[in-house]
Amino acid sequence: MDALRSFLEWVISLIGPLVAPDWGALIKLIPIGVLALVAGFYAWVFFRYRRASRQIGMPPLPAVKPPAGIHLPGPSLAPFLISIAAAALFFSVAMGGAALAVSGTAMVLALIAWGREAVREYNAIGAAHSDALQLHDRASATPTGPPAGVHLPAPSLLPFLVSVAVAVLLFGAAIGLSFVLLGALMTAIALIAWLLDAGREYRAVEEADSSGHLVNPEPKRAPRISLALFSILFILIGGSQFGLFAPAAGEGAPAPGESVAPTEAPSDGITVISAMAVKFEQASIELAADVPTQIRFHNMDVGIPHNVAIHEGTVDAVGAELFQGEIFNGDDERLYDIPPLAAGGYVFVCTVHPNMVGALTVK
């Protein structure tokens, strides 16, 4: 009977969580489930990629050997490796230390590998396919286009636009939400345009294979409108973030020539530091020596992250960090608990924007 009772208790212990689950514990498992789902999706994509014999969503092209005198480079993983190394390098800039050194080394090695592949390709062309390096029409001093049966895509500035857009997106990760949204918009527009171009190229090649009539596309005009629009938006958003475009008078902002009243210290006697237009309003502050103190930091830059960190050194030569306050977006404020500091001169800095510096005297 004891054995049967133990068995039944064991069965009930297994069924119990299913009949009356701990919903709090299950809710905590939701992020893990989402992460497993995302990881499974990427594993499935990688598996399909490894087994893919044609472009995704496109009909397979017939295998045709290139014409005589034409050398086609083989596939390479170097661009993919460089992209991964560049992403790691961007993210490690904020981490510093060993992560920055490792990612920088990986970037250099990936570039060296890609360079060696390019040199080998050039040597192969020069050794075995020397005609490919000459003009198709030797009687003329100018190129006459690709040889018969060879399709060459038109030049495009879209890879450059995608690179600029991603740079703005990563720049926004350190500056503020406005630049993140602008970078995401620029990246989406550039990627969609690049995808449309790739689809047109593929349809042109497919039509040439079926009809036997190969027409090389005319080079497109430079996307001047997109470049101008992106530049204007970047200047407007950047200017507004850094206080270059002051709001009109009568909207709560000072009129031209009118000085801005500094943030007043509250009646509780706590030292106040405020940030506006990506700079500290207080050029210097004082704290008591050898006792815990507090600083109330008011970040008035809407959407821009700031904080207050205390370092050794002077305004012109910032030294080692002694205290770092929480980084947060404005308009908001935080109360920092400062540990006891010995009497002397220090400096307070914004960790996100090192150009924001002020003098701290402890006495």
Give the pLDDT of residue 227: 76
pLDDT in tens, 178-225: 777 888 888 888 888 888 887 877 777 777 767 666 665 565 666 677
For 222-241, write each residue's pLDDT tens digit: 667 777 887 888 788 776 66
pLDDT at 325: 93
Map residue 305 onto helix, strand or coil: strand
At CA 229, angle to CA 228 and CA 231, rounded to 5? Answer: 65
pLDDT at 337: 94
**Kind and range of the H or E run holding 118:** helix 97-128
Instruction: Specify the amino acid at residue 211.
Output: S
Q: What whole-number distance in Å separates Cα of residue 67 and Cα of residue 149? A: 7
Q: Which residues of the chain have pLDDT under 70?
A: 1, 14-26, 49-75, 93-97, 122-155, 174-176, 209, 211-223, 239-268
Return the percentage of the chain with pLDDT > 70, whole number: 63
The beta-strand segments (E) located in the chain are: 271-275, 284-287, 293-299, 305-306, 309-313, 318-324, 328-329, 332-338, 344-349, 357-362
Q: What is the pLDDT of residue 268?
A: 66
pLDDT at 346: 95
